[in-house]
Amino acid sequence: MDIKLEFLMGADAIVSSLSVKAGDQVKAGDELLQYEASKGILPILAPADGIVEEVLVDQGDRIVLNDVLVRMDTDTVCKEEEAGNRSTPVKKCREEKTDLLIIGAGPGGYEAAIYAAQNGLKVILAEAKTVGGTCLNEGCIPTKALNKGARTYQDILKAAKMGIEVPHPQINMPRLIEWKDEVKETLVSGILGLLKNHSVKLLTGTARFLSGNEVIVEQEEGQVHVSAANIIIATGSKSAGLRIPGVQLPQVMDSREALSLKKLPSSITIIGGGVIGMEFAFIYHSLGVSVQVIEYLEGILPMVDKDIPGRLGFIAERKGILIQTGARVSRIENGLNQEAVVIYEKDGKEAFAVSEKVLMAVGRVPDYETLNIEAANIETRRDRRGIQVDGHMQTNRPGIYAIGDVNNILQLAHAASHQGMAAVRHILKMDGGEKQDIVPNVIFTMPEIASVGKTEMDCQKDGISYEVYKFPFSGNGKALIMGDTDGFVKLVKDRVTDEIIGGSIIGPDASTLINSITELVQFHIRQRDASEVIFPHPTTGEAISESILGLGVGALHSVNKKEEHIIHAVD
């Protein structure tokens, strides 16, 4: 409904004040604005109950007879509905109908939204916080920005070896955090622009299910009732934490708080030797902080090839990072000088670690408790650690999907993105499903780690006859120039098919090099065919070429063939 200036004595008037803004709910007779004319100051009143859609004037504007001042929605009014089969009454405000509602605007959610819009679907995207999700705002991107800062600082310290002298380099931590935030904000702005360009409607608020195709989104300005033909849940994960005494002490922080820490501590204890813990361990150490890691399991990074943790642990301890594995943390206490004391048990004895700060990095768990999935009868996994889905990412309820960390298949941002597109393709009745066994994984320690496909342990478990070859970066010219020769490239070949079925890297450029190995695995490339690919010189990629040759006639720059080449036959 258009609210116009319908009465005016004189040629024009001036808007003297505004009483409402877009999104406000008003009742019949409520004041919308005031204007000043020859007869004094007069009000414009709402003719009916409704919601203000748009205010078309500002204070001080000149208006004339029949000008549209305010647009209102008088068809949809907030009202209490009967509970029906729901546990509580629902207050409905704005109504929205859409082909696809996506809950969560992390990498999986927002990329699925864009992909769906590109394919002609009407899409609404609901996000409780900021687009980009945990990955962009509190995880992947911020940690890699700090990683870059830490690496740059170390490069400066080592530059004198090449004849480049930088006297007294210092770390300005507030500026590093500010730069990290600038990177993040640039990417957030870019995502908002992409959503707008693809006509994806963004609702900022928390969502909860009412039924299998109805969701309420709670916004600051009121509720939005969304009816959707299809729904994708992409709410991600949250920090797991430990339920032990002392976790609420001011010295204890999680990864989100660590990313905003503007004053470097002199020392830190990291509880957890997984991806998050080890990435922060190398960041803090490279920035000059004394670091110790306490891990409950018998080794760090249990999810990667068996040769990787041992090499990384050796590198970490050589740098001065202390690592305690097989250690169970029981409590955290205040020390005499307000430092944190982490008490843990190892080999049946109690020990402790003292530091200025403690970082809790014990993993992440799916985040869906506030969604009220029970209202839609959505089933979770048997272990309750994620929403159960099939190969198309569809839940037990047709038309409802769950992607990314919330289904807990793979806690990787790029896996979430790929799953989101798989869900959209299923909605559009396109062929195909999600392949979860060929997803590359990268860990940004120093050196980097990356892997894809099968490991030796996988082959042994699956009864596959395999060959393995490891080529060390110490034999690579570019790595020597970079001053980064720690690590190796390791490839796994199926001895029956001659196909390369897996690979792991620890060393320089691992995050980039893994793309080449992913293609070899994804497209079932045989070793004899891969050996014909030409890798440019001098590059770290030549280590992949050497490993490919190592699985055949032998690497050209091999030093210890016995150690690097392993054959495992299955009778």
d(CA 277, CA 293): 8
Considering Cα of 435, then 437, then 440, then 444, what sign does the dihedral take?
Answer: positive
d(CA 459, CA 453): 10
Q: Are 475 and 488 in contact (CB under 8 A)?
A: no
- State yes or no: is 568 an active-site residue: no
- Closest-CA residue to 68 (of 4, 18, 15): 4
Distances (CA, A) of 155 to 29, 53, 83, 162, 173: 69, 55, 63, 11, 17
Q: Residue 112 contacts by C-beta under 8 Å, 6 or more apart in sequence?
A: 102, 232, 234, 403, 417, 420, 421, 423, 424
d(CA 181, CA 190): 14
φ/ψ (deg, to 5) at 18: -115, 135
Catalytic residue among 225, 392, 537, 568: 537
**Is 266 buried (19+), middle (13-18) or exposed (0-12) by CB count in 10 A?**
exposed
Tokens of 1: 């409904």
d(CA 388, CA 381): 5
d(CA 484, CA 401): 44
Q: Residue 314 contacts by C-beta under 8 Å, 6 or more apart in sequence?
A: none
d(CA 92, CA 225): 6
DSSP assignment of 497-535, as one string?
A: T-BEEEEEEEETTHHHHHHHHHHHHHTT-BHHHHTTPPP
CA angle 389-394-395, nearest 5°? 60
- Closest-CA residue to 343 (of 358, 333, 335): 333
E strand or H helix that includes residue 224: strand 222-233
3-class state of residue 389 by DSSP: coil
3-class state of residue 439 by DSSP: coil
3-class state of residue 178 by DSSP: helix
Considering Cα of 323, then 326, then 329, then 330, what sign does the dihedral take?
Answer: negative
Neighbouring CB atoms inside 10 A of 325's CB total: 16
Tokens of 390: 């099939």
**Looking at the annotation, which residues are catalytic?**
537
